[in-house]
Structure 1
Amino acid sequence: MALMLSLVLSLLKLGSGQWQVFGPDKPVQALVGEDAAFSCFLSPKTNAEAMEVRFFRGQFSSVVHLYRDGEDQPFMQMPQYQGRTKLVKDSIAEGHISLRLENITVLNAGLYGCRISSQSYYQKAIWELQVSALGSVPLISIVGYVDRDIQLLCQSSGWFPRPTAKWKGPQGQDLSTDSRTNRDMHGLFDVEISLTVQENAGSISCSMQHAHLSREVESRVQIGDTFFEPVSWHLATKVLGILCCGLFFGIVGLKIFFSKFQCKQEREKHGPVPYSWFQQGQDQRCSHIPAASLLLVLASRGPGPKKENPGGTG
């Protein structure tokens, strides 16, 4: 009897002009940095120009956008949504209202609702906003060698939500891996996974699978003998010795050059030095020059003045 009475009352309400509110029937998808659109409508079609239309986040008091008394009420919005919403009222007379939310961030993900109310009646609808960000193409690098094994690292950044990261072998089989995830200042995920493989492992791939979108990005590397060629320490020692010798002689050469340059400046300042001074060790102005430098100076000046024969004979 009570069930019958409740059904009759419900039918009377609908017959007296009551309506229902419908929103998106599945999660709304949006990419970071793009816009999202939320649509609500009344059924049956009812003019909502004189009604209150409230879009909210999670709970009724968290206002995303408010339309009341025939106009928008921006002062009622939460600060993070101010200047980012626009209510499309082209079809409000038919009970259809749409809200555009601009410049989506990962912080906007969650439950949203639309509440439409008249003076004596209200209805609401709830839906989910799923925010996505596609990260970078995975970068595979070699981080080290252990005996005959090689350690690989795969890195990808800028994901939301956290992707599924996998290493795969030559036949597409999943390989065991160690993973690490961090979040940047914008709430995006940076993912690293590592793997140790043996010699001749063949084709190894690193993939990132998005949790909401049917998108996967992959990078591949071929592991062969070239990664494990032994290092010739004998050759490395020779190369290192040559480099050290070259560096030593280069330093000595620079020292000689600058010493000669200083000596030349001293001579230009104080005048030429008699050749006999070099023989008697009296020229102190170039005493700081290494012996090798003095030999170069003497060679460049040529032989000294020829002594006359005391006997007067040629």
Structure 2
Amino acid sequence: METGPDSLFLTLLLLLHSSHSVSERFEVLGPSDSIVAVAGEDIILPCYLKPNISAEDMTVDWLKLDFLDGRVFRYQNHRIIRDDQIPSYRRRTSLFEEELWRGNTSLKLTRVQGTDEGHYKCFIKAKRWYDDFTIQVLIKAVGSKPVVSIEGHREGGMCLLCESEGWHPEPELIHRDFKGFYRVKQHVIVQETDTNRFTCRVQQSRINEKMETEIHLPSELFDYATPLRMAFTVLCCLGAIIGIGLSLAVYWICNKKGNGEII
């Protein structure tokens, strides 16, 4: 077997290539539990390389799996690429660029909103190796104190409207705004009670939060709550007017006859 300079050089190249390939391999790691974020606050989506090698020469992609081609953030060739970023994430995402040298590829997301909830993939690619990690983000938001307004008489009772907005996750959904928060809007018809106190309560059991408002209705509001009662009152008034009119007409006719006038 020949062991000349050419074969020795070839062996040395293979060893160098093998060493370079092994040194470039890494794992992408992150938290095992979901990240729960409060709407309006800033959060960090942890992601890092093991071993803690530099990611400065790598491509760092943050993707939202709930979107088709949903790129949240990209770092490539030592600069941030914003061309195909999801519009709602513009000016709200950043890396800790000063820590890329030690493998920290975590993403900072500011002013979180309801639509940020979902699964995110941290995808890291080197020249000959890549790996990724997926994180779930949950958003919670406690809505406003319910507002109760009186809609008027309806179906034999008093109609109340209860409204509360800014909730996440979804309570009893009626409307969702462009930031992904939910608004509860419900009508209820109430009857007169001993206290006439009624409570509007909005509750989200997943985040163990609730808001409520109590309203007191004066008894006078229920006096004309029944449409039939109103109609009966109107008919009674009309009947009384007609009766008085007929009585006056009969009295006038009789009076004329008594005076000998011929009609």
Shorter-chain TM range is 0.5 to 0.7
In the other structure, the counterpart of 1:138 is 146
Q: Distance in 2 between matches of 1:30 and 1:114?
A: 18
Output the amino acid matched with 1:204: F
Equivalence map 1:275-286=2 (5 Å): none
Question: Structure 1's 19 and 41: CA in aligned 2 closer, same or farther, altered over 3 A?
Answer: same
Q: Which runs of 4+ in 1 moved over 6 A?
A: none
Q: What SS is found at the alignment partner of 2:57?
A: coil
Tell me if the contact between 1:132 and 1:212 (Cα under 8 Å) persists in the aligned partners: no
In the other structure, the counterpart of 1:194 is 187
Q: Which has the higher contact order (CA 8 A, sep 6+)?
A: 2
In our comparison, the structure showing a higher alpha carbon Rg is 1
Question: Structure 1's 201 and 124: CA in aligned 2 closer, same or farther, altered over 3 A?
Answer: farther
1:181 and 2:174 equivalent? Answer: yes
In the other structure, the counterpart of 1:213 is 207
In the other structure, the counterpart of 1:62 is 70
Q: Distance in 1 between matches of 2:203 and 2:113?
A: 20
Q: What SS is found at the alignment partner of 1:91?
A: helix
In the other structure, the counterpart of 2:116 is 108
Tell me if the contact between 1:89 and 1:98 (Cα under 8 Å) persists in the aligned partners: no
Q: Percent identity?
A: 28
In the other structure, the counterpart of 1:172 is none
TM norm structure 2: 0.62
Per-residue deviation at 1:140?
Answer: 1.8
In the other structure, the counterpart of 1:153 is 161
In the other structure, the counterpart of 2:58 is 51
Tell me if the contact between 1:132 and 1:161 (Cα under 8 Å) persists in the aligned partners: yes
Output the amino acid matched with 2:134: I
Tell me if the contact between 2:114 and 2:181 (Cα under 8 Å) persists in the aligned partners: yes
Q: Distance in 1 between matches of 2:62 and 2:112?
A: 16
Q: What SS is found at the alignment partner of 1:96?
A: coil
* Structure 2: segments with no counterpart, 5+ residues: 1-21, 231-263
1:40 and 2:47 equivalent? Answer: yes
User: Which stretch of structure 1 is more off in the superposition, 58-67 or 37-46?
Assistant: 58-67
In the other structure, the counterpart of 1:82 is 90
Q: Distance in 2 between matches of 1:223 and 1:158?
A: 27
TM norm structure 1: 0.53
Question: Structure 1's 147 and 210: CA in aligned 2 closer, same or farther, altered over 3 A?
Answer: closer
Q: Distance in 1 between matches of 2:93 and 2:101?
A: 20
**Number of equivalent positions:** 202
Tell me if the contact between 1:38 and 1:98 (Cα under 8 Å) persists in the aligned partners: yes
Q: What SS is found at the alignment partner of 2:105?
A: strand
Per-residue deviation at 1:124?
Answer: 0.6
Per-residue deviation at 1:217?
Answer: 0.9
User: Which stretch of structure 1 is more off in the superposition, 56-65 or 137-146?
Assistant: 56-65
Per-residue deviation at 1:138?
Answer: 0.6
